[in-house]
Amino acid sequence: MLNNKEDLTRKQALDLLEDFAKRWLAHDGLWFQSIEQKRGIEEAIDRDIEAWRNFTVLEAKRIMEFLQLPNQGGLDALLRALNFRLYAFVNKQSIERPNERTLIFKMTNCRVQYARQRKQMAAFPCKPVGEVEYSLFAKTIDSRISTRCLVCPPDALPGDFYCGWEFTLNV
């Protein structure tokens, strides 16, 4: 049994970090599902948007502070920050840089959608939540970044990823 944080090996610390992210995501999902069951999917999405409107900015600011990212750090700062979101520790994602002003982010494996499939629930139509979440996260990292959804449920998905977002640095 571990007595304190200093007893953790590097592997244990990384495993614990992943476990913390899974616990957070489980709580987020259970919270959402409780509203969905009581008040319907539309009300749950409305409440989720408001929660993400605040959480995504808080998360971006904390990541910026932790990584000591500069204000207005551009797409390089956004790329680094995306890799330190809680989601990054439990979902598989890919990031491409087709040019110096564009970053493409794709969620290639989504635990939220997988959990709903496993429970035989309808796909989570997360596009309106994602539009708030990703745009505010990017704007917090650098106010010059605009965000465009490429695809996200309820859109028809291409099959090799769950959602895709394009970030453009406007200079």
Average per-residue pLDDT for the chain: 92
148-158: average pLDDT: 92
Residue 153: inside a domain: yes
Instruction: Tell me the CA distances in angstroms from 27 to 24, 32, 59, 77, one per residue in order.
Output: 5, 8, 16, 28
Residue 61: inside a domain: yes
pLDDT score, position 3: 57
**Of 30 and 62, which is predicted with more confidence?**
62
18-44: average pLDDT: 91
Q: How confident is the model at residue 121 (pLDDT cuts 50, 70, 90)?
A: confident
Q: Is the pLDDT reported for residue 168 higher than 60? A: yes
Q: What is the DSSP string of 83-145?
A: TTSGGGGTSEEEEEEEETTEEEEEEEE-HHHHHHHHTTPPPP--HHHHHHHHHHHHHHH-TTE
CATH classification of the domain holding 92 = 3.30.1380
Residue 4: inside a domain: no
Q: How confident is the model at residue 5 (pLDDT cuts 50, 70, 90)?
A: low
Q: Which amino acid is at 88?
A: A
pLDDT score, position 171: 87
Residue 70: inside a domain: yes
Task: Let me know: does 137 contact 60? Beta carbons within 8 Å.
Answer: yes
Residue 94: inside a domain: yes
Whole-structure pTM value? 0.89
Q: 120: domain range? A: 11-169
Task: Let me know: does 63 contact 84? Beta carbons within 8 Å.
Answer: yes
123-148: average pLDDT: 96
**Of 131 and 26, which is predicted with more confidence?**
131
Quote the number of domains for the chain: 1
The number of beta carbons lying within 10 Å of the beta carbon of residue 162 is 25
Structure confidence by residue, pLDDT tens digits, 68-102: 999 999 999 999 999 999 989 899 999 999 999 99
